[in-house]
Amino acid sequence: MDAAEFDFTLPPDLIAQMPARPRDAARLLAVEADRNTDRHIADLPSLLRPGDVLVANDTRVIPAQLAARRGEARIGVTLDQPQADGSWHALLRNGRRVRAGDELRFDGASATVLSRDDEGGARLRFSVEGADFEHFLRDAGRLALPPYIARPAGPTEDDAADYQTIFGRHDGAVAAPTAGLHFTPALLDALAARGVQRETVTLHVGAGTFLPMRADTVAAHTLHPERGIITAAAADRINAARARGGRIVAVGTTSLRLLESAADETGRIAPFDAQTRLFIKPGHRFRTASLLLTNFHLPRSTLFMLTCAFAGTARMQAAYAHAIAAGYRFYSYGDACLLAAQARPEALPLDSAGASGPRPQF
C-alpha cells in the first residue's frame, strides 16, 4: 500500500489557527455511504439515537515542551510518554551529541539521560517527581502545539484553555484528542436529554503524533507506543449498552484505537492498562464502534489512513474534497466529520432486554 494513496492538496488558508467559539458552533460533515451532509456540532444529538454510547478520551494535555542545557548547548525536549519506572521517554531537538549518562539542566530541575534511541528520543529521569514534578512542568513547560498552528511567540493564554477538552481528567497527553475539543456543557446536556450514554477511556497521546510519515509505503511505518486505560466498570457499561442495541460512537481516533486495542474477536471490550502500538489502516476489521467523530487530518498521515480504514478510502477522499470546496476548517482547531462505518461491527450477544440495532446510518 503506497502512502501516496492518502495524499491530497489543502489550501493553507483552511488550516484553523483558532477554534470556533462557542466550541459546538464548529461545522460538522456527516459522511454516509451515499451522501455528505453539512451540519454543525450542535446538531450531533439529532444524528444519534437513544441508547447510543459516546466514548471520549479523558486524557489531559500537559505543558510538555521544555528547554534544557547540556553544558553550553541548548536542547529542546518534548516529553512523550511516562514509563512504568517513573522515567520519561522524550524527543530531543539539537540533541545529536547527547549520550546516556549526560545531565540536562532545566529551570527548577535536572534530568539524567538513561538511554538514547535511533529515532531522536531519549529516556530521562528527572530530579523531581510527584507533585514537585507537576509544579516544575507548570513553571517551566509550554504546550507543545502542532507546528501548523502559528504561534511565533509561543502558546497564548487562550491556547491553555482552548487546547484542553471538557473531558480532560488525567494528566499525560502531549497533544489534545482534538475531536473532544468541540464539546460544551450545553451539548453534553442535549446528548443526555436525547438518551445518549457517555463513557470515558484514557489514551495519553504522545509526541509521535506530530512526526510525519517518512516511508513511501504504509507497511514500513510504525507508531510510537501510547499508554491506554479502560477501567473494568467502563468496559462493562460499554458492553452492556452495545448488547442492548446501542451503537458505540467513538469521539476521536484515539478513543477508537484504544477500543480496538482492548476488544476481542466478538467486539467485547476488556479492561485495559498497557501500551498500544496498534496501527489501523485499510484492511483492518473493526469490532467496536459504528460511528466515529473526528477532525480533518493531515495528508499522508496515519490518522487519515485510520478514517479511510473506517469509512472507505474513496468515500473519505470524496468527503475531504467536499470539505475543501465548502471551506471547512482543518486540523486540531478545525471542524469535524461524523463517519458511519463501512460495515457494522459484529453485535455482542444480546441480553433479554433488546434486539440487535439497525445498521450504522444516521
Residues with pLDDT less than 70, the chain = 209-222, 344-361
d(CA 65, CA 80): 10
Contact 92, 75 (CB under 8 A): yes
Question: Is 354 within the bounds of a domain?
Answer: no
Question: Is 192 within the bounds of a domain?
Answer: yes
In this prediction, residue 275 carries a pLDDT of 92
Angle at Cα 130 formed by Cα 97 and Cα 142, nearest 5°? Answer: 55
Which of 317, 320, 305, 309 minimizes the C-alpha distance to 342? Answer: 309
Same-domain status, 121 and 242 = no
* pTM for the model: 0.91
d(CA 94, CA 240): 50
CA of 150: how far to CAs of 13, 17, 65, 179, in Å? 12, 7, 16, 20
Same-domain status, 267 and 216 = yes
C-alpha cell at 160: 491553555
Q: Is 326 helix (H, G, I), strand (E, B) or coil?
A: coil
Positive or negative, the CA dihedral 42, 47, 53, 56 is negative
CA of 15: how far to CAs of 80, 277, 326, 327, 333, in Å? 25, 28, 14, 10, 8
Question: Is 70 within the bounds of a domain?
Answer: yes
Same-domain status, 260 and 324 = yes
In this prediction, residue 351 carries a pLDDT of 34
Report which DSSP code applies to 269.
Answer: B
Domain holding 49, by residue range, is 3-61+161-340
**Region of residue 86 (left: phi > 0; alpha: psi -120 to 50; beta: else):** left
What's the CA dihedral at 192, 195, 201, 203 to 10 degrees?
-80
Question: In the chain, how long is the greatest CA-to-CA distance?
Answer: 69
d(CA 263, CA 206): 22
Q: How far apart are the first and last CA of the chain?
A: 31
- Dihedrals phi, psi of 150, to nearest 5 degrees: -75, 110
Same-domain status, 238 and 296 = yes
d(CA 262, CA 240): 16
Q: What is the CATH classification number for the domain harbouring 324?
A: 3.40.1780.10
In this prediction, residue 213 carries a pLDDT of 65
d(CA 328, CA 108): 43
Same-domain status, 207 and 74 = no
Question: Is 351 within the bounds of a domain?
Answer: no
In this prediction, residue 122 carries a pLDDT of 96
Same-domain status, 242 and 97 = no
Same-domain status, 236 and 173 = yes
C-alpha cell at 138: 507548570
The runs of H, that is alpha helices, within the chain are 44-47, 130-140, 157-162, 185-194, 232-243, 253-262, 302-311, 313-325
d(CA 348, CA 356): 9
Same-domain status, 205 and 291 = yes
Question: Is 349 within the bounds of a domain?
Answer: no
pLDDT digits (tens, 9 = 90+) for 155-202: 999 999 999 999 999 999 999 999 999 999 999 999 999 999 999 999
Same-domain status, 205 and 73 = no
In this prediction, residue 217 carries a pLDDT of 67
Question: Is 348 within the bounds of a domain?
Answer: no
Report which DSSP code applies to 315.
Answer: H
Contact 89, 83 (CB under 8 A): yes
Same-domain status, 13 and 87 = no
